[in-house]
């Protein structure tokens, strides 16, 4: 294994999950991918992958090579990108994963502007309703909203973001205005399914007082735009991020409920694998992303 090409090939196999998918990504035939894998195993005198019809299962040796090799490839790319930077340009591919709604409304325009400013960088944006459950190795940056679960990822704050309980004026006229979080359990509510969280358990605080309320949700969806639209139509009460409902509140389509009670904040974070040794394109994008949401994010302007 004289250069990084073999490691990159093996990493592509792991990312793809099957020989057919890897062949499609590499622009080769499945037989050519199989032949290259066999040549690599022969060169190393070790079996790296157990092949089946449906999936690839990496051996202990193959897993070790991928884990350590990924760090070596990262260092290799960072070195040459830093050299390229000395010549005045950013290069390479930046792979980003982000939540559906936030990605569409707030992140996509930022990415397009960044790429236009840096034409030698290719940016691949993937939108998902479960960004943290995706294979993190596939992405340079994962944008996450809310509390960060325990992990080895490094988080960078992009923008502050509160969460509000909201309902349409028509619904409030029909059911009345709740005076306490406990009253929400008796009202029609709508929940957003995301990140495998317990989404029907709503938590609030007022000073040192804490309240947890189990709401009854006859409507739920994994798309925030859908539940916001349902709320605007008067179909139920929602607990939603400030970035998503601030404009509807300003226009009077939604009314904030229980303003004296605070739901847990859900700040916008950018997650990376490591703090040191990030490629130049990743560092510059992080700086550009933070600058676009300062001094105030769009939903607070």
Q: Is residue 83 part of a domain?
A: no
Q: CATH number of the domain that 186 lies in?
A: 3.40.190.10
**Considering only CA atoms, which of 168, 162, 211, 212 is closest in space to residue 188?**
168
Alpha helices per DSSP H over the chain: 5-16, 19-26, 30-44, 60-86, 100-102, 108-117, 169-175, 224-232, 242-251, 280-292
Task: Look up residue 27 and give its DSSP letter.
Answer: T
Instruction: Give the domain range for residue 196.
Output: 163-257
Are 170 and 230 in a shared domain? yes
Q: CATH number of the domain that 28 lies in?
A: 1.10.10.10
* pLDDT for the residue 43: 86
Residue 190 has pLDDT above 70, yes or no: yes
Q: Is residue 189 part of a domain?
A: yes
Q: Is residue 201 part of a domain?
A: yes
**Considering only CA atoms, which of 35, 80, 36, 67 is closest in space to residue 136?**
67
Q: Is residue 81 part of a domain?
A: no
For residue 45, how many other CB atoms are within 10 A of its CB?
7
Are 138 and 272 in a shared domain? yes
**Considering only CA atoms, which of 16, 7, 98 is closest in space to residue 285?**
98
* pLDDT for the residue 77: 73
Q: How far apart are the first and last CA of the chain?
A: 54
Instruction: Encode 155-172: b = buried (16+ Cβ within 10 Å), e = exposed.
Output: eeebbbbbbbbbbbeebb
Are 45 and 191 in a shared domain? no
- Label residue 177 exposed, middle or buried (CB < 10 Å: 0-12, 13-18, 19+): exposed
Task: Look up residue 73 and give its DSSP letter.
Answer: H
Are 61 and 192 in a shared domain? no
In this predicted model, what pLDDT tens digit does every residue of 270-300 receive, in sequence order?
Answer: 998 776 678 888 889 999 999 999 999 999 9
Q: What is the mean pLDDT of residues 218-240?
A: 95
* pLDDT for the residue 1: 46
In this predicted model, what pLDDT tens digit does every residue of 144-188 receive, in sequence order?
Answer: 998 877 667 888 999 999 999 999 999 999 999 999 999 999 999
Q: What is the mean pLDDT of residues 7-20?
A: 84
Are 150 and 167 in a shared domain? no
51 beta partners: 56
User: What is the number of domains present in the chain?
Assistant: 3
Q: What is the mean pLDDT of residues 247-255?
A: 97
Are 253 and 175 in a shared domain? yes
Are 105 and 170 in a shared domain? no
Q: What is the mean pLDDT of residues 84-94?
A: 68
* pLDDT for the residue 238: 98
* pLDDT for the residue 125: 95
pLDDT band of 78, cuts 50, 70, 90: confident
Q: Is residue 220 part of a domain?
A: yes
Pairing outcome for strands 268-272 and 141-145: antiparallel
Are 189 and 135 in a shared domain? no
Least confident range from 4-13, 84-93, 132-141, 173-182: namely 84-93
**Considering only CA atoms, which of 141, 187, 144 is closest in space to residue 283?**
141
Are 199 and 119 in a shared domain? no
User: For all residues of the chain together, what is the average pLDDT?
Assistant: 87
Are 93 and 144 in a shared domain? yes
In this predicted model, what pLDDT tens digit does every residue of 15-60 receive, in sequence order?
Answer: 888 888 888 888 888 888 888 888 888 888 888 888 765 678 888 8
Q: What is this structure's pTM?
A: 0.69
Q: How far apart are CA 112 and CA 118, in angstroms?
A: 10
* pLDDT for the residue 132: 67
pLDDT band of 136, cuts 50, 70, 90: low
* pLDDT for the residue 278: 80
* pLDDT for the residue 134: 56
In this predicted model, what pLDDT tens digit does every residue of 201-216 receive, in sequence order?
Answer: 999 999 999 999 999 9
Angle between helices 60-86 and 280-292 (to 10 degrees): 70
Are 246 and 171 in a shared domain? yes
Q: Is residue 222 part of a domain?
A: yes
Backbone φ, ψ for residue 63 (5° rounding): -65, -45
Q: Is residue 175 part of a domain?
A: yes
Are 153 and 173 in a shared domain? no
Q: Is residue 197 part of a domain?
A: yes
- Asked if residues 263 and 203 have their Cβ atoms less than 8 Å apart, the reply is yes
């Amino acid at each position: 294994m004289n250069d990084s090409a073999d490691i990159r090939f093996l990493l592509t196999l792991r990312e793809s999950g099957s020989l057919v998918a890897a062949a499609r990504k590499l622009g080769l035939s499945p037989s050519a991918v199989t032949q290259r894998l066999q040549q690599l195993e022969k060169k190393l005198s070790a079996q790296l992958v157990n092949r089946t019809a449906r999936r690839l299962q990496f051996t202990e040796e193959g897993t070790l090579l991928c884990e350590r090799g990924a760090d070596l490839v990262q260092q290799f790319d960072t070195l040459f990108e830093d050299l390229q930077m000395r010549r005045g340009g950013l290069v390479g591919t930046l792979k980003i994963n982000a939540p559906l709604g936030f990605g569409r409304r707030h992140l996509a325009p930022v990415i397009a502007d960044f790429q236009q400013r840096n034409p030698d960088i290719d940016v691949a944006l993937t939108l998902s309703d479960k960004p943290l459950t995706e294979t993190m190795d596939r992405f340079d940056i994962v944008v996450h909203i809310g509390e960060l679960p325990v992990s080895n990822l490094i988080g960078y704050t992009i923008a502050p973001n509160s969460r509000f309980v909201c309902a349409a004026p028509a619904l409030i006229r029909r059911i009345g205005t709740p005076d306490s979080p406990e009253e929400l359990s008796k009202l029609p509510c709508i929940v957003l399914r995301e990140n495998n969280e317990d989404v029907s358990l709503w938590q609030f605080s007022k000073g040192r007082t804490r309240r947890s309320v189990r709401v009854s949700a006859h409507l739920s969806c994994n798309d925030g735009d859908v539940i916001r639209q349902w709320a605007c139509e008067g179909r139920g009460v929602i607990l939603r991020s400030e970035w998503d409902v601030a404009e509807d509140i300003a226009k009077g389509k939604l009314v904030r409920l229980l303003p004296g009670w605070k739901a847990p904040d859900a700040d916008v974070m950018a997650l990376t694998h490591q703090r040191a040794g990030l490629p130049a394109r990743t560092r510059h994008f992080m700086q550009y992303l933070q600058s676009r949401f300062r001094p105030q994010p769009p939903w607070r302007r």
